[in-house]
Amino acid sequence: MNNKADGKTVGTVPDSAPAKISITLKVNGVEKRMEVAPWTTLLDLLRERLNLTGTKKGCDHGQCGACTVLVDGKRINSCLTLAIMKDGAEVVTIEGLAGRSALHPLQQAFIEHDAFQCGYCTPGQICSAVGLMNEGRAKTADDIRELMSGNICRCGAYPNILAAIREVTRVGAGQAQGG
């Protein structure tokens, strides 16, 4: 459709968005080439197309952190991210964190510290904690609390989540325990 003012064309707006766009993502080390609708979120792509259901949909509005994954090493809310925005990126989900013969240290620490109850928030908590470690900004237990505040745990497992993260990051040793 052409918009006209004073008889001149001032802009061109497509009648419709393209139905599908081709993108490539490296997901948990495997390259995936896919045709996706432009409005598909990364969360829906992971869960519905790639069957990676470890990443959870909680609020679907960027409020709970259940959908946290790592994109090029940075933690993001996949529910707020369109898949086409990450064309060419490397995505790691909870399914891709463990090594061949051992869990990721944070996964192991979550088990040892009993850092979950229902487990719904746990993949997001762990991916977020990996992102936190990559950022290298947490120097105290309070820093961890603040920098993990985007990840909600409705079961209230915060003290044990904090203990697990502290063990792996070796942050805040000697400070008071608690969530």
Q: Which residues bind ligand FES (CB under 6 A)?
A: 57-60, 62-67, 77, 79, 116-122, 153-155, 157
Q: Which is nearer to ligand FES, 97 or 116 (CB)?
A: 116
Minimum Å distance from CB 80 to ligand FES?
6
Whether 113 and 130 have beta carbons less than 8 Å apart is answered as: no
Q: Which is nearer to ligand FES, 161 or 168 (CB)?
A: 161
Q: Which amino acid is at 148?
A: M
Q: Which is nearer to ligand FES, 1 or 119 (CB)?
A: 119
Minimum Å distance from CB 79 to ligand FES?
3
Q: Which is nearer to ligand FES, 35 or 48 (CB)?
A: 48
Q: Which H helix or E strand runs over 83?
A: none
Burial state string for 112-135 with b = 16 or more CB within 10 A and e = fewer than 16: ebebbeeebbbbbbbbbbbbbbee
Strands (E), the chain: 2-5, 8-12, 21-27, 30-36, 68-71, 74-77, 90-92
Minimum Å distance from CB 14 to ligand FES?
29
